[in-house]
């Protein structure tokens, strides 16, 4: 009988998440001082200044996860004729209510991110802020930072502008239903049909995003399919783990955010202000990527080349669609992690290898990520002509701390996915599964099952295995508390 049978799985996972956060140096609870500051906030931020524009008449909409309540951005498009399109992205004006040096800021600065676990969500900012007062909620008037971009028919950016504005969300939409509509497999969501002209506006955003996406991939942006798993609950009980698949609606938002983040980085540079850049360095483990391609009948040049790697990925997907997710996971592991660095005026930070962009500063999720809140404060200073709120020494410390805490938060999230997987697999100890190697180093060898998509450690039979190798594995242990799932090679 499984050790946790009869207990509430969601509560068990929530308690594990809280414990692991503390072990990882993250704070699951807000301090009494932060709670007092929150109680003193009476409502959403008022109009910022005389220069704040009123854009509430535009056809703003949000597209996010089905269950998202912390809405960080809105978007809208305008057809300028001759193939040119104006895209506007509105980002929640969080810094208007969360000021630097406050207790709320201290909590956000310590954790640096919201932590999304199978048991519960630990928001970077209290829910009264992130899902209400600073969230771009439906039919609510909010202060926002707007990034305006004009693209030609080929996706090249003609001009851009950043300004503060009042916005109003006209339609709260979800990725899956919007994607099904854009794919033609479902009618338009009711919220789209309820706003005259919104369907055409979203289609225009979609077409523009596809053009931007194609342009990036020609420069070597990588077509990768992630296999992030999430538990599916029936009430409080886990029924399955399913991969979180990409779709055209997610791609739409991703492209607009990549473009907006690029404009933000360049805008700060043009005003002589530093910025926090999000980078992925040129892969240090390129040799293994070359081997991975050779094992699949392809070749890569001896030196890192994003365009060549993208061509290999496109070909591999066409050859073996069913195995592409596993190949993507191997490539992601070999590329290395993202990190934050400071870009000072007169200097040039590395770019983002995976996205094939040079200028990239996280700015579009200030309710969920501290680097975006820092960037927003820098933008506020640039727009008002005030001095930068952070000097280079402080920004360097923030960049290093955010990179570190992001990894700790990911470890918490992965731990909870494994705990959920262990809970699901507890009754199946002794069974064998098809799997693929996802990690192999001096610390051990890790594999991922094809179904359910659970990752665990290979205790025996790992000799000679490399990332990407297929195998059969027998489940020998499932420890929910520790998130341990152990296998032996069959």
pLDDT category at 469 given cuts 50, 70, 90 is: confident
Residue 48 above 70 pLDDT?
no
Mean pLDDT over all residues of the chain?
Answer: 93
Residue 318's CB: how many other CB atoms inside 10 A? 9
More confident residue, 138 or 455: 138
Residue 296 above 80 pLDDT?
yes
Residue 486 above 50 pLDDT?
yes
Assign 16 to helix, strand or coil: helix
Largest CA distance in the chain: 70
Percent of the chain topping pLDDT 70: 98
Condensed to tens digits (0 to 9), the pLDDT of residues 385-398 reads 999 999 999 999 99
Assign 330 to helix, strand or coil: helix
CA 201 to chain centre: 25
Q: Are 127 and 71 in contact (CB under 8 A)?
A: no
What's the whole-model pTM score? 0.91
More confident residue, 442 or 288: 288
Which DSSP string do the residues of 400-452 spell out, in sequence order?
HHHHHHHHHHHHHHHHHHHHHHHHHHGGGTT-EEEEEEEEEETTEEEEEESSS
Q: Which residues of 437-446 are buried (b: 16+ CB within 10 A; e: fewer)?
A: bbbbeeeebb
The candidate with the shortest Cα–Cα distance to 349, out of 432, 279, 426, 445, is 279
Query: Which DSSP symbol is given to 171?
Result: -
pLDDT category at 441 given cuts 50, 70, 90 is: confident
Percent of the chain topping pLDDT 90: 78
pLDDT category at 5 given cuts 50, 70, 90 is: low
pLDDT at 2: 47
Condensed to tens digits (0 to 9), the pLDDT of residues 299-357 reads 999 999 999 999 999 999 999 887 787 788 889 889 989 999 999 988 888 999 999 99
How far from 458 is each of 96, 292, 294, 451, CA to CA, in Å?
Answer: 50, 21, 25, 16
Residue 484 above 60 pLDDT?
yes
Residue 280 above 80 pLDDT?
yes
Weakest mean pLDDT among 77-91, 141-155, 468-482: 468-482
């Amino acid at each position: 009988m499984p050790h946790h049978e009869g207990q509430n799985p969601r509560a068990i996972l929530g308690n594990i998440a809280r414990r692991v956060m503390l072990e990882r140096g993250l704070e699951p609870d807000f301090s009494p001082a932060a709670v007092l500051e929150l109680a003193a906030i009476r409502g959403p931020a008022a109009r910022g200044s005389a220069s704040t524009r009123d854009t509430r008449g535009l056809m703003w909409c949000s597209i996010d996860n089905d269950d998202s309540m912390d809405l960080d951005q809105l978007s809208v498009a305008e057809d300028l004729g001759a193939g040119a399109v104006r895209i506007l992205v509105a980002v929640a004006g969080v810094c208007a209510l969360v000021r630097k040096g406050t207790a709320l800021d201290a909590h956000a600065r310590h954790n640096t991110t919201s932590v999304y676990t199978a048991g519960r969500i630990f928001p970077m900012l209290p829910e009264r802020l992130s899902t209400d007062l600073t969230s771009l909620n439906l039919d609510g008037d909010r202060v926002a930072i707007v990034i305006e971009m004009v693209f030609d028919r080929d996706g090249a950016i003609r001009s851009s502008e950043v300004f503060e504005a009042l916005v109003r969300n006209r339609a709260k939409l979800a990725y899956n239903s919007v994607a099904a509509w854009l794919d033609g497999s479902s009618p338009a969501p009711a919220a789209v049909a309820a706003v005259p002209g919104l369907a055409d506006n979203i289609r225009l955003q979609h077409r523009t995003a596809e053009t931007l996406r194609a342009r990036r991939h020609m420069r070597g942006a990588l077509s990768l399919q992630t296999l992030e798993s999430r538990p599916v609950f029936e009430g409080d009980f886990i029924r399955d783990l399913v991969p979180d698949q990409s779709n055209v609606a997610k791609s739409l938002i991703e492209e607009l955010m990549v473009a907006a983040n690029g404009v933000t980085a360049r805008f700060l540079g043009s005003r002589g202000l530093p910025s926090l850049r999000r980078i992925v360095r040129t892969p240090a483990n390129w040799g293994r990527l070359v081997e991975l391609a050779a094992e699949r009948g392809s070749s890569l040049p001896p030196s890192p080349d994003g365009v060549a790697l993208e061509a290999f990925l496109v070909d591999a997907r066409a050859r073996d669609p069913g195995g592409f997710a596993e190949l993507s996971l191997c490539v992601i592991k070999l590329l290395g992690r993202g990190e934050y660095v400071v870009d000072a005026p007169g200097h040039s930070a590395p770019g983002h290898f995976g996205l094939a962009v040079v200028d990239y500063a996280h700015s579009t999720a200030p309710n969920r990520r501290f680097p975006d809140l820092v960037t927003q404060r820098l933008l506020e200073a640039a727009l008002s002509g005030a001095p930068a709120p952070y000097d280079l020494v402080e920004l360097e410390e923030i960049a290093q701390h955010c990179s570190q805490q992001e990894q700790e938060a990911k470890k918490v999230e992965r731990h909870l996915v494994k705990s959920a997987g262990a809970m699901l697999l507890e009754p199946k100890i002794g069974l064998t599964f098809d799997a693929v190697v996802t990690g192999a180093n001096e610390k051990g060898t890790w594999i991922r099952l094809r179904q359910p998509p659970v990752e665990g450690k290979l205790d025996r039979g790992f000799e000679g295995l490399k990332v990407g190798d297929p195998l059969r594995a027998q489940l020998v242990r499932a420890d929910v508390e520790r998130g341990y799932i152990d296998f032996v090679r069959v």
